[in-house]
Structure 1
């Protein structure tokens, strides 16, 4: 071996690393564990704060002591379940089929929704009046029926068979029956410092928040498969059923109540002209909302070039729907304003405003105007309903107030369905969006003129005994 090839004397060992490989891995694991624990604590703290904030909201103003808070908690699960059903049905009935087929399906759906109310409307109020001592069970039944129907829908949603339509019909009818039974229970749970308008405003805000939280969860479940969104809704309705049964016993009290027909006459009782005008105004508002919901949904699937929208159609639809939701929230937030500023005038003003904006949207049919129309429709419907509630509270005696609420809810639902059928009819006839809105505006303008003429016909009669 050559001398140069011989290994030299061993050099000094390299200094030990201050961060050995095993220690580095341990440090990384330790940091990751600390980050995950911190994130977990942050999420838990945020969830706890949100829960406590929501609980303070539902229990404030004496709502916890009166039992109204329990009804609010029940309404959370009801609205969250309805939002999940809406997400699932929108994906199966509307967006996944061609426009022509979707229009026929939605038309059939609306007809099936309207027929039970057209037949049962004269009977549902008297039935609930006779069932007053079991309101908790009546509310619970509307939720239990929806839970069962949603579970059936989850199995039938793929083929959309006759079973699918029957189950969907059961969901819609029981959902509207819930609105009637819940309205009948609210006056029994009012805190001493609450008005009926304030209670309904809080119920609406609670439901809106629940729907906003539940809808994305339902979309996530629907991404796995449409049946999973319906199963999610069924679970929510089961929880709501249990909460309904646990409502305070005073919900079942019927002391001092009597029956009243839709004309407001029975047992020597009459309803003021202001209440009648408010019902008529709200019927017009609901007809317009039903029309816009169905007609604009079809139009915005493929926005016409005249709207000036060059983006994704789904984004535009989300903007219009979001504006309507925002308008509804604004109406709820300022609901007490309607109570203190002559609700009989507010309810007429919002009807005129709705028609005026509809005319502007028909003439200037651009996408920003469509967003403004959605905002206005949501705001006017919300203020109109709260004004109606205020007038019923002011002018209708407690002994018949519950029955009046039941009949008003039925009337408003029928008006919404008629508006939806009008939208289906105009779209099926291939009427352009501006012309369709002009036709609807003419109808509503005639209706508003009739309501205004009746409103200024003479002094409002005071509620009291009917003189024959």
Structure 2
């Protein structure tokens, strides 16, 4: 609801990024305070929601930091690779800090969020993301069948991603060295995202259509979900996280390409913010299911397999 307003206000998205970084630091500090309490569960969910708000604002600002729309795909790929590198690099120290105390690792992340808020305030542009209202042509283009179908596919991939993140986080709490395992899972997920974003140009050279990439991504996630459910081990869960994150990133590149080719007259900032909002809500919904149900490891992996199978079949049929 407030997204269109933020797009029109000069510096609106920039202030959102700053506020989210500060709030994430506060939430992490609260997690340290109530680490052994049931309050940790809603705080973890709040942290996930704030992460999604940041992702939406980042998508809205991307067209503001490139010289032309033709550079958006490359810029998104570079941001994805950088995110993967930083996530992978941070995963190791986080696991080591856990050996001292899990709260030390959380404290380090709070410091990182505060530094991010300062950098966002001083470095991000202060211009409006989308000062004008959407035209009828833009609205017509954004409702084309190709975009509608692709929106379902990428949303389904985000559901599995959000579910696996919190499913592993809470399931591993009861396992030996659970926090260290979870740190490794985050590192693997970041590395797979990095690899996926780096393969964007390779996929284009293979001349695969964007819809084929989305079908393949859902199919592979479904297959690995079933295999992980069969084994039910921590290692299987970490492999599934890598697959979900990697093919989720591949699907995102395909989805962005579909939006660009089917809605050439749309305001990129507004379009990407709109769809990223829906994608992040899908990821939050997946995480909420994991928090509410708290399934066992194997059952959670099976849930990913079932959902991805149904989503793949539906998308393939509609396409």
Corresponding residue number in structure 2 for 1:387: 254
Q: Which consecutive residues of structure 1, in runs of 5 or more, have no partner in the other structure?
A: 1-122, 304-310, 456-468
CA distance in 1: counterparts of 2:43 and 2:233, whole angstroms? 39
TM-score by length of 2: 0.78
Q: How many residues align?
A: 317
Deviations 1:411-464 (A, max 9, x none): 222322333344456655x6x82x654454333322222212221xxxxxxxxx
Question: How many Å apart are 1:243 and its aligned residue?
Answer: 2.0
CA distance in 2: counterparts of 1:228 and 1:301, whole angstroms? 17
Bigger Cα Rg: 1
Corresponding residue number in structure 1 for 2:17: 139
Deviations 1:93-127 (A, max 9, x none): xxxxxxxxxxxxxxxxxxxxxxxxxxxxxx14323
Contact preservation (8 Å) 1:278, 1:344: yes
Corresponding residue number in structure 2 for 1:403: 270
Higher fraction of helix? 2
Corresponding residue number in structure 1 for 2:218: 351
Deviations 1:3-58 (A, max 9, x none): xxxxxxxxxxxxxxxxxxxxxxxxxxxxxxxxxxxxxxxxxxxxxxxxxxxxxxxx
Contact preservation (8 Å) 2:229, 2:302: yes
* Aligned with 2:127 (options 245, 252, 258): 252
CA distance in 2: counterparts of 1:257 and 1:181, whole angstroms? 17
Corresponding residue number in structure 2 for 1:177: 53
Question: How many Å apart are 1:370 and its aligned residue?
Answer: 5.0
CA distance in 2: counterparts of 1:161 and 1:377, whole angstroms? 28
CA distance in 1: counterparts of 2:301 and 2:35, whole angstroms? 35
Corresponding residue number in structure 2 for 1:442: 306
Question: How many Å apart are 1:331 and its aligned residue?
Answer: 0.5
Higher RCO structure, 1 or 2 (CA under 8 Å, sep 6+): 2
CA distance in 2: counterparts of 1:245 and 1:352, whole angstroms? 41
From the superposition, tell whether residues 235 and 125 of structure 1 become closer, same or farther in structure 2 (CA, over 3 Å): same
From the superposition, tell whether residues 333 and 157 of structure 1 become closer, same or farther in structure 2 (CA, over 3 Å): same
Deviations 1:284-323 (A, max 9, x none): 21222233334455666678xxxxxxx9877776665554
Question: How many Å apart are 1:384 and its aligned residue?
Answer: 0.8
Question: How many Å apart are 1:279 and its aligned residue?
Answer: 1.6
Corresponding residue number in structure 2 for 1:187: 63
From the superposition, tell whether residues 178 and 344 of structure 1 become closer, same or farther in structure 2 (CA, over 3 Å): same
Corresponding residue number in structure 2 for 1:335: 200
Corresponding residue number in structure 2 for 1:157: 34
* Aligned with 1:451 (options 305, 308, 315): 315
Tell which deviates more after alignment, 193-202 or 341-350.
193-202
From the superposition, tell whether residues 265 and 146 of structure 1 become closer, same or farther in structure 2 (CA, over 3 Å): farther
Secondary structure in structure 2 of the residue aligned to 1:190: coil
Question: How many Å apart are 1:402 and its aligned residue?
Answer: 1.8
Cα RMSD, aligned residues only: 3.9
CA distance in 2: counterparts of 1:168 and 1:436, whole angstroms? 18
Corresponding residue number in structure 2 for 1:288: 160
Q: Which consecutive residues of structure 2, in runs of 5 or more, have no partner in the other structure?
A: none
CA distance in 1: counterparts of 2:233 and 2:95, whole angstroms? 29
Contact preservation (8 Å) 2:84, 2:194: yes
